[in-house]
A and B are shown apart, each in its own frame.
Chain A
Amino acid sequence: MRLILVLLFGVACIAHGAEADLLEPDKAFRFSARLKDARSIEVTYDIAPGYYLYRQQFKFSAAPAEAKLGPPQLPPGKMKKDEFFGEVETYRGNLTILVPLEVAEPKPSVVTLAAVSQGCADAGVCYVPHEQKARLQLAAGGTATGAPPEPFPAPERARAGADDARFASVFAEGFWVTIAKFFGAGLILAFTPCVLPMVPILSGVIVGGGGHVTKMRGFLLAALYVLGMALTYAVAGVAAGLSGAMLAAALQNPWVLGAFAAVFVALALAMFGLYELQLPVALQSSLANASNRMRGGQAAGVFAMGVLSALIVGPCVAAPLAGALLYISLSRDVVLGGSALFAMALGMGVPLLAVGASAGALVPRAGPWMETVKRFFGVLLLGLAIYIVSPLVPTAVHMGAWAVLLIVTAVFMRAIDPLPPNTHAFDRFSKGIGVIALVVGIAFAIGALSGGRDFLQPLAGLRAGAGFPQAGETPFQRVGSIAELEGRIATAGKPVMLDFYADWCVSCKEMERFTFTDERVRQRLGALVLLQADVTANSPEHIALLKRFRLFGPPGIVFFDAAGREIEGLRVIGFQPAHKFAAVLDEVLRFQRTASQ
């Protein structure tokens, strides 16, 4: 069965074949530079496998004229015999070159380094001498500090680790490196709350189908489920990338979310044993005769569940998804973009395959154990249902729902029943967990009733009278069209932050609730003009706005300097915790300072 995976990877390989594999020089020889100290520049080349650079062919120059470069310190290369030139030295892999720097008065604040390099590919081509530039910022007062490297000669751009840009830049490497990185990202995503609930769904489907479950059969079903999920990602990603549509909007509209929540509640109730999930009796009896066909039917069902699951995981994969979509829509390299998404989904599926393969072991088939496990999964499913609808309901309702779930669970865990003296250790442990759930649930219940809005501090509303500030409100000005946005930016006179928002956008709400309310973030936001585009209605103006910034939908935060130019590379896509977001804001403010010097 493992062959399926190998096969599908192979397919991607075939589809990607031949001459297209030659990298653009900027990707074959990834260049960056930083100030190592006040008197030297550290230049690094990340040379793609199968490519090399000539040691003798580097040329460095700097502008303005006050900046003078010394002879570059080139490390020894690998000797290569050349029938025409004799010996030539070449570099492969990572290369670091130190270039001495002397800056005369008046000291410029920015030095632009231009590096010319020459290299070839083992595939049998060379590149014409290639110039790459970096912009280095000198700190005031003579000592220099390194600035983020700038791969393009565009002085008005800065670069930092924005998530989508980072994921999009992953594509600059070779095909397999990209695939491997996305697979790895998928593995990490497998342990986010969105994917874990799939474990009970899957094992429910496998075990719940009844009959004899062998490891092989379990693995096959799990593989089908994962394939359904992965193919959905690849196809939906490519389609969305090409059309530039709001994928997230389509997946996160209230009806879809509500339907999924209902499915989960139904599944949860089945887990609690309220009813047996099975096919209608008539269908079942006709199928019973041909057991082969019933297997086929179940396989199709599992595959379909996988397809549906792909949609649920949306919120968790916002950043890599946006990166891949950005890449697909910019480069229109559908094959690589689609393969990357496919690999990511396979990565997310690895734990599910393990669950499937261990059909007999991880999911016990009989006895009271099985009941406990099923109930646990049932609670998880209910939690997931609440999580899914949380963007659609007021915070109080959301919190109240959690309170109900936690308290009822606690009661079933016998949190308030006295334990007999000779109780088994497991039951004591279980009661302990139950008591914790009870306490948290009661806190949520009180919070929901007293107007608390923060899950981390549900009781904050009770603190010292009415002293609780309106922390949730961030003073945004609304913009609804490109013209309006341009007008606001032109008259801002300060750096501008543009936040794309929609009512259905989970991470937007998380940003509002957890990040914008943070004291460090609020302080820094004070120095910016805050604009918000609410694209819930998804009108043509909204779509134009999103397109303008190559976004596929919220969440997305874009920054502009005081002159109204976008500070590229600083975009924030998806939820970012307060400390990271504060660092991004620092970057914006620092950029503004150097730009106005």
Chain B
Amino acid sequence: MKDSRRRWLAMAGVGALAAAAGYGVHLWWADGQADVPNAAAVEALLTAPLKDLEGGSKAIESWRGKVLVINFWATWCVPCRKEIPEFVKMQESHGVRGLQFVGIAFDQPQPVRDFARELGINYPLLMGGLDTMALMRESGNKAGVLPFTLVLDRKGKVARTHRGVLTEAALEGIVRALL
């Protein structure tokens, strides 16, 4: 009896050690491999003229000096649409403190206009093209997934990148330190 218990203990120990080692390797690796945004690409993204929904052209840098939340999305992307109502709410509540959302859609202008009206989007929406897509990939999103959100501080430096849906609570935590 005693013998088999010792055996189990030994095995559990080996397992725990292996798990710890594996996790360590993972951390070390994930660290070295992170999808790091390229500063030059982010700068190019800020200065590139993009079409707005009225047919004019505007660059994101017009909002420089604010805490910028740049959200890449599309109407056909179901998860993207989930987070937008929360963005609208936060723009409403934090706008005066210098928080500025900018949406960049990879889409046709018409569905974007319809969607913006339906949800009452209260922040500027710009249309992304192929070159915008390339810059987005270089800005910390190599796989090119949507939604992708880039949070910049008031100096225009990347504070956080996030692939996938961002909850209000998470975003709140990120921008609180920057405002």
| Residues of chain B from 99 to 142 with CB closer than 8 A to chain A in the complex | 106, 111, 115, 118, 133, 136, 142
Chain A: which residue is nearest B79 at the CB level? A124
Chain B: which residue is nearest A296 at the CB level? B10
| Residues of chain A from 317 to 355 with CB closer than 8 A to chain B in the complex | 332-335
- Are A84 and B18 interface neighbours, CB within 8 A? no
- Are A11 and B18 interface neighbours, CB within 8 A? yes
- Residue A462 is within 8 A (CB to CB) of chain B in the complex: no
CB-defined contacts of A57 to chain B, threshold 8 Å: 76
| Apart from the given pairs A22-B145, A126-B78, A126-B79, 7 other A-B contacts in the complex at a CB distance below 8 Å | A14-B26, A17-B26, A84-B81, A120-B77, A126-B146, A129-B106, A335-B25
Query: A332 to B33, alpha carbons, bound, how many Å?
Result: 9
Question: Measured between C-beta atoms, what is the minimum distance from B9 to chain A in Å?
Answer: 13
CB-defined contacts of B146 to chain A, threshold 8 Å: 125-128
Query: A95 to B136, alpha carbons, bound, how many Å?
Result: 29
Chain A: which residue is nearest B11 at the CB level? A4
- Are B76 and A85 interface neighbours, CB within 8 A? yes
- Dominant secondary structure at the B interface: helix
* Interface residue from A16, A88, A130, A220 paired with B144 (Cβ < 8 Å): A130
* Known A20-B30, A25-B143, A124-B164: A334·B78 in contact at CB below 8 Å: no
Chain B: which residue is nearest A12 at the CB level? B22
- Mark each residue of chain B from 7 to 38: 1 if its CB lies under 8 Å from any CB of chain A, else 0: 10001000100110011011001100100000
Q: Which 3 A-B pairs have the closest CB atoms?
A: A15-B22, A126-B77, A125-B145
CB-defined contacts of B54 to chain A, threshold 8 Å: none
CB-defined contacts of A335 to chain B, threshold 8 Å: 22, 25-26, 29
Q: Chain B residues in contact with chain A, CB under 8 A?
A: 3, 7, 11, 15, 18-19, 22-23, 25-26, 29-30, 33, 74-81, 106, 111, 115, 118, 133, 136, 142-147, 163-165
Chain A: which residue is nearest B145 at the CB level? A125
Query: A11 to B18, alpha carbons, bound, how many Å?
Result: 7
- Residue A24 is within 8 A (CB to CB) of chain B in the complex: yes
- Residue A279 is within 8 A (CB to CB) of chain B in the complex: no
Q: Which of A54, A125, A129, A333 gathers the greatest number of chain B CB atoms within 10 Å?
A: A125
Question: Measured between C-beta atoms, what is the minimum distance from A120 to chain B in Å?
Answer: 7
Query: A118 to B79, alpha carbons, bound, how many Å?
Result: 14
CB-defined contacts of A24 to chain B, threshold 8 Å: 142-143
CB-defined contacts of B142 to chain A, threshold 8 Å: 24
| Residues of chain A from 95 to 133 with CB closer than 8 A to chain B in the complex | 118, 120-121, 123-130
CB-defined contacts of B18 to chain A, threshold 8 Å: 7-8, 11
- Residue A473 is within 8 A (CB to CB) of chain B in the complex: no
- Residue A65 is within 8 A (CB to CB) of chain B in the complex: no
CB-defined contacts of A128 to chain B, threshold 8 Å: 74, 106, 133, 136, 144-146
A and B contact pairs by CB, cutoff 8 A, 9 listed: A23-B143, A85-B75, A124-B79, A125-B145, A125-B146, A127-B143, A127-B145, A130-B144, A292-B3
- Are A124 and B133 interface neighbours, CB within 8 A? no
CB-defined contacts of A417 to chain B, threshold 8 Å: none
CB-defined contacts of A123 to chain B, threshold 8 Å: 164
- Are B15 and A126 interface neighbours, CB within 8 A? no
Q: Which of A12, A15, A57 gathers the greatest number of chain B CB atoms within 10 Å?
A: A15
- Mark each residue of chain A from 306 to 319: 1 if its CB lies under 8 Å from any CB of chain B, else 0: 00000000000000
CB-defined contacts of A82 to chain B, threshold 8 Å: 78
- Mark each residue of chain A from 273 to 317: 1 if its CB lies under 8 Å from any CB of chain B, else 0: 000000000000000000010000000000000000000000000
CB-defined contacts of A20 to chain B, threshold 8 Å: 30, 33
- Are A22 and B106 interface neighbours, CB within 8 A? no
- Are B33 and A126 interface neighbours, CB within 8 A? no
CB-defined contacts of A126 to chain B, threshold 8 Å: 74, 76-80, 145-147
